[in-house]
Amino acid sequence: MQSMFFPLPLKTHIIFSIIGIAFLIFRFYRNRHFYYLFFALAIACTFLIYICDKIRDLNYVGILEAFLMGITFFLMYYEKNGSKLTRLSKLSELKQKIPEIPKIPENILPKREDKHSRGEHYK
């Protein structure tokens, strides 16, 4: 069963998809990032083109694939930058717990007059 919309024969498509899905499930098992599961689901949904016989149905498959890839990229971005946000919130909590060191008013400190501050060393 060869699809005219997919460049690989069905047997090759099945082999590459199984390898890809197995790899992504393994990566999810090791790293616990959910975008691996959505990417594996997007690969599995490519088999829908073999059962669709109308162009309208193929458009729905394309929309589904785009939606799954959008979720995948969103989760990749969120999981990468979300950890930074939690670290920043913890840092701001720590800053609130540490007492602030009071600053010395400038009128108390004596003014420093030396030749380097006035630029006289160049004359």
Query: What is the C-alpha R_g of the chain?
Result: 30
**Cβ-based burial of 27 (10 A; exposed 0-12, middle 13-18, buried ≥19):** middle
Residue 37 has what pLDDT? 94
Helix axes 55-97, 35-44, angle to 10 degrees: 180
- Whats the size of the chain, residue-wise? 123
Q: How high is the pLDDT of residue 52? A: 85
Q: Give the separation between CA 83 and CA 15, rounded to whole angstroms.
A: 36
In this predicted structure, what is the pLDDT of residue 85? Answer: 59
49, burial (CB in 10 Å: exposed 0-12, middle 13-18, buried 19+): middle
pLDDT < 50 stretches in the chain:
none
pLDDT of residue 113: 62
Q: Where are the domains of the chain?
A: 10-98
- State residue 81's pLDDT score: 76
pLDDT of residue 79: 81
Q: What is the model's pLDDT at position 91?
A: 63
Query: Would you say 20 and 40 are in contact if contact means Cβ atoms under 8 Å apart?
Result: yes
pLDDT of residue 118: 54
User: Can you give the pLDDT at residue 36?
Assistant: 95
Whole-structure pTM value = 0.64
